[in-house]
Structure 1
């Protein structure tokens, strides 16, 4: 086959040579008619013909890689270019070319891959012959290959298959202008076609090799017994499983007559089937150990490549089936068990869609009994509006092509189930569908999308939180100090109160932004969900009003979880307030805590908040946790309440789902992991009562002047001695110059030049009894990045009130904890 192709290609090239010789004759005749140009024209034509002849002779007797290498070498030599290469489009990225042969200077070079974007090769691949006789680098300044080769000129021709599909390209490059651009075009056109043929031939050979390898792998690894038999009934090939089942070696069987091992009583039937073009027989065959094995085989005759008549026989050992019908019954039962235990629903219907059979999982998914389903059709389970938008076309179900599609199905209880299914027409015309419930998967995908949106908004929130919190620390702190200095009857006191309230609202909004984006600095500890629900309901009874009936139901055992108490209370309050606003004319609100062991998550606690309000439609429920999404009137709220709830729950490692039907109320279900044994063993001790100040010295480090002034005034007002510093280096100098004891370092976390933790390490090296209190307006992410939570030191989140600052400072000074755990 290979030699015939080569001969055909050589004949094709000879035809082209004949055409060129005719062209030569015409050129010669034309040259005679032009006085003074005869010799030049004939020399040019002869040179062209000689060049073509050199390339033809250099490539006519080779193929494959050798052909490509010979082609680029001869092409570069004849066209007097420094470089030539042939490349094919990358298998997975059509924007790249992989070279098969490269000629550089006077030798072959290593193959490489080449990005087509911004190169002349991109134009070539678009089925255009391109020749740039000079200045190619100026036209393609982004082409790194042209620059590396210092190319001045370029010529390329696309290589296309017979179907017009682009395969690759043939390129020549030179570091000087091309001498004869028309000659380059002609040569590239002629040998581009030849190279394309060779590329297609190589691809066909490669596909043949792959096909043979697949066939060999299939035969070598199949459980069937496969052999090839000659026309005189002798084994030519025996598969490994054939040998394993019958106990022979290949040497035992190859060349042996196949009928020698057939049971005498079955020989006549086998001989009769052997004479047919395609025969099937069931017979006994002799095992090497002397036992008879039942074999069921099918053989078919075919002509081999050399013209010999051969048969391929595919057999199966059915000894077990023949020994006992009971084994067959058990096998059928095993198959039925497999179908019944499948995790997907398996349905069989007739061509009109009426169900004929269904497995247990299918019944379980839809809530019907098998008998009930057999009285229904496929259309009975599909919502009417879905049938309008996506009509059911059972007649289009194929017996060959199986597509995976999605549909909603209505369960017996009326609820909708999202499914993914594949349907196939069976040989008898029935339709078999395999149905998978993907409702949970779609919910998870939606949660991932929601998390991505919250992550984006959270990055924005975390970025501005620091500046907001610094400003709010000053606003809230000074308004509180100002309010304390005013008497109850001072006419300006109400202005200070309004400033403080506005600052607190701004601080709450900032914390909500950080909370739903999971960037708020929190202090999780072991808490009993039952206790949090009990404590929250005391406040909720006053908050909800008398027209809302509030009921609670607590888990029978402690629901110990790891969470921030303040955040958990925010979740309950937000959900309760959301329910109250949905029931302006009164209603019932139930809060319930449940503990159980989840199959997937282990021990978990559930917090369920249920109301009997108007409920929500599906579109509203799908967006309920989006930040800034609200159904309230403009000015009634920023739409962060439920987004904050989502953020808190996610930050605690839990999940939240909403179940709502218009007219039937809404239920929020929060699942939180129960505290582990290790967490229970590290629960912090209860807070100690704080004592008054004793004139201790505090080193205050804060790079924001207005915050530093406020904190200094608050601390000096409490009776502390304060050393001020604007940054880390300044603080080191103040600490070194101060001879007395420094009892507490109060420092910002993120500062230019030196972080708060780095400062604490350096100051603490010379003052081992130093207590450290970090403060920051940054998000929890920044605090974690600077290692504050792992340091074991105190932390105060901005904005903070003077009282909170006083309590935290006093707590650390009284606790007397030494610096520890700092790297």
Structure 2
């Protein structure tokens, strides 16, 4: 039930609109009348208005205003004075003062009837429409919020009636279709955007899921279809159609759709990557990967690289696609190239003017590349293993799509590169293990030989020592057992080295003079190479001393002399 209008309400009328029997007007009461103004407005008890209505008069309004020294409101010129009892129908807005201290409150009213009883008296019956006005305002607010929601989404949304005529189109949908939203209103949407299949053949309306949603109330969804733009081109789309039901009656359908062209391109590229690299490893894998990547992005060049040093300042290509075939692998320094910047950033994109931005880069200039896109290849621990790069002779436009596709291919390339490096490290470890096992076997053999040879050497050195004791100090024969004694000592040192090798003993480096060692070994070396070979010593008198194990130095000298003898034609 509407609230009853207060008898303390003040008002004024305005001209009725020419378009309607009711019109809007504002109440306008001069300031200063206050509650004394209200006393001049009386309720007509003789007439009993309905609930929610008020019967008001202005008999003494002008008189009291003049008495209080206030300019009274002028009578509205729109009140027909010729017919004093003519009814008035318009809208009025009332301002009431329930208490002296309260602020004025606004309400909305509608003039139901009115008549002129005297020259300065008007009788009006007003219906309070405050609640109705608030309801309309709330409805307008909700409508505005709903429109804002529909316009803010990135998906296309449009509504159709049962005849497939468009009743609404949001901006995102209109942009995808190449239309302005207002251009689609009232148009048959099947004939406008869904008239043909992907192969260009006609698409009957009876087979259209959107038409079925309008006519039969059947919900429809297609993940792979095409919609047609204003310029005659098509794009891959997925859409859903839902019937609009009002009072158990289908009144149309609402359709949501989105452009999945990039998604489908990525999907096709991923499938081609999987199919092209299935079962491939190593070089064959990388070659297939760069070929598939260049084809998916529509670029001329694609290459995958790995670092050649721990400093990560140089890279070597593992595969290079050149548009019509594979190019030879090459190695280059990263300094001054676009690849250098992406090591820290993780990716790099230069859509044009590549050679002007990086004049020191040799590869782009040699290939005639104008644009560049690259990403680092990281292992599971986040360590950069290499680079995946694409270049083209024309500018690149689709950075977001190209980068997303590069990441997909890069993840696969990084996994294969990590596997390749792990396999190489495993092979190196296995080679080291085999070498260690060989050396261990050699050490065991050397230890056994050294032990047996040491027993024989004891006899030689023992008898040479006895000869030196029995010979006179001035005897010319003493030089023979003396040489035997020296050779025995050197043989004993060699045996100690063999034993040290077999037992993994540490060497004993000392400061030695190489000239003295070579001179002392002259006779031994001369007999070692044979009498038919001349041995000449050329020594540097200013040669500095070295710190090394004497036994190892002697062994090195003997090995060098024997190798030189063996390298001579006919052995000397």
Per the TM superposition, whether the score is higher than 0.5 is no
Larger Rg: 2
Task: Using structure 2 for the length normalisation, give the TM-score.
Answer: 0.36
Q: With structure 1 as the length reference, what TM-score do the two structures score?
A: 0.26
